Amino acid sequence: MLRCAQHDNSEMTIQTIQPAPHALHGSIRVPADKSISHRAAILASLADGKTRIENYLQSETTHATLDCLRALGTEIEMHDATTLSIRSRGLRGLSEPKDVLFCKGSGTTMRLLAGLCAGQDFLSILDGTHALKRRPMARVAEPLRAMGATILARDNGKLPPLAIRGGKLHGLDYALPVASAQVKSAILLAALFADSPTTLHEPSASRDHTERMLLACGVKLQVAGCKLQIEPATELRITHHASRIPNDFSSAAFFIVAALIVPQSEICIERVGVNETRTGLLDALLRMGAHIKIENVSEESGEPVGDIVIQSAELRGTQVHGDEIPRMIDEFPIFAIAATQAQGETIVRDAQELRVKESDRIATLANELRKMGAQIEERADGFVITGPTPLHGARVAAQSDHRLAMSLAVAGLVARGETIIEGWECVADSFPNFDKILEGIR
């Protein structure tokens, strides 16, 4: 890995990936779930008393959430890199931050905290990096305004920073225009502070970690398919006062695809969260002919976890659309790498949300993968990949997108020659030790 200074004085890291000299073998553990880590910290900051969280994700984004919660008056003590205790002053115990809440590049931090701050009778200003300033915020601001919060934002109320004056919220009956767990969670958090119940209708099911945690805290929440009804709360009670975060399926996804496409490989990824609202990638890969098994399924902090065993396989193209999209929304960059090695066409539709992720993932995937020889056609709401293509090493750019960076690294394992990835530092957003884990199975 090479570090070099950029014109704005920040450091850019360049990662070089050599083709895998032989099959991948071994058992690995990937880091903790990013989505669940954010939520565990936010809910612990509202729940009565002290909560211990084990296996908290150590990353730029999840630490941004901790910093913001501290600025809102929550006491957080780190015992080691991944274990912490959060002491809360209860549901109504947050206080006005003296400074801007800096969410770094984390969309989850900004959107979930927008919901939390909408419930508070004080001023909060949420800001982030240049990359975050491009992410759409009207999707949270509009329903929160409809509940009674005052929210000002750039570009006619649509882009960060957000200035929120909350409190005195009313319940809402709201149909989400997009299936987004971030938007759903923001409204659920605000709804805890409203004076009447809130009903939400999702167009299709998105990840349900917030619902699971709220139910575990004694919140009155009813879920019937894509309809949710939540009552305002007077307190949150965390029954165990300790929770262990499962390992992240979205981080496991890079190694699932790596083991599938590097011939003769067999790996096991231990104790991974396998919540069905997250594992659409497995369904798509199984249709493509993948050899994947989930073993030793048990429950950890209200979430199913299991060991995922993968053997390399000959893949064939498939189609992904409709309700499957939110169930694998973060996995399209790595799914695209699998598709380049599959026989025939892989078609992704209804995935226009990919355009507003950490990068415009339809455009960045197409641009970067073409540099490695992939046949990829960009569509307004997805892409078509024709395979199998022998990839070749190239100089590619991560485009400030951690999932794109790691997907290109996996592509590099099956490419001819060296792959050079510029902007590798963004991997710290979710998976700082990716390269060490990859080295361990090569």
R_g of the chain, CA atoms, integer Å: 21
Provide the 3-class DSSP secondary structure of residue 164: strand
The token pair at 419 is 């792959």
The residue within the footprint of ligand S3P, chosen from 202, 208, 324, 330 (CB under 6 A), is 330
61 near ligand S3P (CB under 6 A): no
Question: By C-alpha distance, which of 186, 109, 135 is closest to 354?
Answer: 135
The residue within the footprint of ligand S3P, chosen from 329, 334, 376, 404 (CB under 6 A), is 329
Whether 95 and 68 have beta carbons less than 8 Å apart is answered as no
In angstroms, give the least distance from the CB of 148 to ligand S3P: 23
The residue within the footprint of ligand S3P, chosen from 51, 55, 198, 206 (CB under 6 A), is 206
- Residues 7-46 close enough to bind ligand S3P by CB under 6 A: 35
Beta strands in 319-374 (DSSP E): 319-320, 344-348
User: With CB under 6 A, what is the number of residues at the site for ligand S3P?
Assistant: 11
In angstroms, give the least distance from the CB of 5 to ligand S3P: 29
The smaller minimum CB distance to ligand S3P, of residues 108 and 389, is found at: 108
The smaller minimum CB distance to ligand S3P, of residues 17 and 257, is found at: 257
In angstroms, give the least distance from the CB of 147 to ligand S3P: 19
251 near ligand S3P (CB under 6 A): no
305 near ligand S3P (CB under 6 A): no
Cα→Cα distances 92→166, 233, 376, Å: 13, 10, 51
The smaller minimum CB distance to ligand S3P, of residues 35 and 59, is found at: 35
The residue within the footprint of ligand S3P, chosen from 44, 181, 217, 421 (CB under 6 A), is 181
288 near ligand S3P (CB under 6 A): no
How many CB atoms within 10 Å of residue 109? 29
In angstroms, give the least distance from the CB of 103 to ligand S3P: 13
Q: Nearest-CB residue to ligand S3P?
A: 35
Q: Which residues are catalytic?
A: 330
Question: By C-alpha distance, which of 343, 338, 346 is closest to 321?
Answer: 346
Residue for token pair 């709401």: 381
Whether 44 and 88 have beta carbons less than 8 Å apart is answered as yes
Whether 409 and 438 have beta carbons less than 8 Å apart is answered as yes
**From residue 103 to residue 142, what is the string marking binding to ligand S3P with x (rule CB under 6 A)?**
-----x----------------------------------
- Complete DSSP assignment for 263-314: TT-EEEEEEEE--TTT-HHHHHHHHTT-EEEEEEEEEETTEEEEEEEEE---
The smaller minimum CB distance to ligand S3P, of residues 65 and 265, is found at: 65
Task: By CB under 6 A, name the binding residues for ligand S3P.
Answer: 35, 108, 180-182, 185, 206-207, 329-330, 353
